[in-house]
């Protein structure tokens, strides 16, 4: 057997392995998953649903905080409270909290965290303080720049809790103020990351690889028993990625993608602020354990497998056109005596086997790419819905 024949066979084998592994991991985004539509027609009985604390940790986000509180207070849910943690704000956040407390006296509670001596705003301390101060059984994290898309937001989270899930990750639809190119790229990055997490949870193991800092629900007792974010106090932010991947038991975590469970999250209005968030997220990823890191880089490894198969195919075609006489792979001994060749102008005779293998390889790769593009567009179309919140009304000129 000529050397190029072995390379052709190995190249097509790697391509098929790549396609099989890719589609085995693919999970279609289904907006109807984990939804009890019978419960959306009327308000549930209070005795049926768990008690929930919506925890909002804010820093210099007074205008957006007011909007977030109003949107949560409008939830059609009978048993919840709002806990606001003022994380060393220097704007009018205290005034917003006092005004909202008068407006919702039986719903809103607050506490505050002074700035650390070294000037660092530590989200781990603020989150732990808010969780300990909560009076309800379940905690739902929400950013001040996030807004539920539906008044049934807590309803869908409670439905998932009643199904036996201990960690509920809701989808965040990110958007920008000016719809600039960097905002579009950032939104696509967040969407791609959440789809990856959705597939990791639903392709058998049912265990997340990360979680957003907004729209995340967990049990208060579980958080305190696990020590909260105590293992990652060296990080200033984005501890929720490590917490979800470390403490979520197999089969007890879910990701809610239906429209009622989503929130709208506004990106920082300045590109440099988003770059800082991006870098902090990458820094948190470095603390993932090996198995979680492998699952998170699953598609990157599959891409390397495809590149390896493509390089082998190109090398096989090159050896077929310009054969090399190796000492142990002599062409006089190893070549098929009756091998058919194709004559092309300007090139030496090309074995017909190499041409057929290249055509088959290109056809399989093209069909896979077409199906992949179609599925990606379909998933993005399901997740991209019109923004309910007016970005201009939340814009803070100095800080977000």
Q: What is the pLDDT of residue 349?
A: 59
- Residue that wins the pLDDT comparison between 353 and 47: 353
pLDDT in tens, 206-224: 789 999 989 999 999 999 9
- Closest by CA to 236, choosing from 68, 91, 59, 54, is 59
In angstroms, the Cα distances linking 95 to 60, 92, 98 are 12, 5, 5
- CATH architecture of the domain formed by 37-292: Alpha-Beta Complex (3.90)
Instruction: Let me know the angle formed at the C-alpha of 77 by 75 and 80, rounded to the nearest 5 degrees.
Output: 95
Look at residue 265 and tell me whether its pLDDT is greater than 90.
yes
The C-alpha atoms of residue 69 and residue 394 are separated, in whole angstroms, by: 13
Find tokens 């056109």 and name the residue. Answer: 321
Q: Give the pLDDT of residue 63.
A: 80
**pLDDT by residue (tens digit) across 356-367?**
889 999 999 999
Q: Can you tell me whether residue 105 is helix, strand or coil?
A: coil
The rounded distance, in Å, linking the Cα atoms of 288 and 190 is: 18
Residue 87 main-chain phi, psi, to 5 deg: -90, 75
Q: Say if residues 319 and 3 touch (Cβ distance below 8 Å).
A: yes
The sheet carrying 167-170 orders its strands as 108-113, 80-87, 52-58, 138-142, 216-219, 167-170, 253-256
What pLDDT sits at residue 280?
A: 87
CA–CA dist 219, 230 (Å, integer): 17
pLDDT, position 269 = 81
The more confident residue out of 332 and 389 is 389
Residues of the chain above pLDDT 70, percent: 84
Which band of pLDDT confidence, cut at 50, 70 and 90, is reported for residue 377?
very high
CB-CB contact of 228 with 219 (8 Å): no
Query: pLDDT tens, 87-138?
Result: 878 788 888 999 999 999 999 999 988 776 554 457 888 899 999 999 999 9
């Amino acid at each position: 057997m000529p050397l190029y024949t072995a390379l052709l066979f190995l190249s097509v084998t790697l391509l098929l392995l790549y396609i099989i592994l890719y589609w085995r991991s693919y999970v279609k985004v289904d907006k109807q998953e984990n939804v009890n539509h019978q419960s959306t027609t009327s308000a549930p009985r209070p005795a049926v649903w768990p008690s929930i604390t919506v925890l909002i940790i804010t820093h210099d986000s007074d205008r957006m905080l007011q909007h977030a509180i109003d949107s949560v207070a409008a939830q059609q849910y009978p048993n919840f409270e709002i806990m606001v943690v003022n994380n060393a704000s220097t704007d009018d956040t205290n005034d917003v909290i006092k005004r909202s407390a008068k407006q919702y006296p039986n719903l809103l509670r607050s506490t505050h965290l002074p700035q650390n001596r070294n000037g660092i705003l530590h989200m781990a301390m603020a989150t732990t303080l808010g969780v300990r101060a909560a009076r309800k059984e379940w905690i739902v994290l929400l950013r001040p720049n996030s807004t539920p898309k539906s008044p049934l937001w807590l309803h869908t989270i409670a439905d998932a809790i009643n199904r036996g899930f201990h960690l509920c990750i809701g989808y965040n639809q990110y958007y920008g103020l000016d719809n600039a190119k960097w905002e579009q790229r950032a939104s696509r990055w967040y969407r791609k990351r959440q789809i990856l997490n959705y597939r990791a949870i639903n392709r058998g193991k049912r265990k997340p690889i990360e979680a957003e800092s907004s729209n995340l629900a967990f049990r208060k007792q579980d958080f305190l028993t696990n020590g909260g974010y105590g293992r990652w106090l060296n990080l200033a932010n984005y501890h929720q990625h490590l917490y979800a991947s470390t403490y979520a038991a197999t089969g007890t975590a879910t990701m809610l993608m239906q429209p009622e469970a989503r929130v709208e999250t506004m990106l920082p209005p300045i590109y440099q602020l988003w770059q800082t968030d991006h870098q902090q997220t990458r820094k948190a990823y470095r603390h993932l354990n090996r198995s979680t890191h492998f699952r998170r880089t699953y598609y990157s490894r599959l891409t390397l497998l495809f590149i390896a198969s493509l390089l082998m195919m190109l090398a096989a075609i090159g050896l077929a056109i310009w054969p090399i006489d190796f000492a142990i792979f002599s062409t006089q001994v190893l070549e098929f005596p009756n091998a058919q060749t194709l004559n092309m102008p300007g090139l030496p005779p090309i074995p017909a086997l190499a041409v057929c293998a290249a055509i088959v390889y290109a056809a399989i790769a093209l069909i896979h790419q077409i199906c992949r593009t179609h599925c990606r567009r379909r998933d993005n179309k399901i997740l991209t819905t019109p923004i309910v919140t007016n970005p201009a009304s939340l814009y803070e000129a100095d800080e977000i």
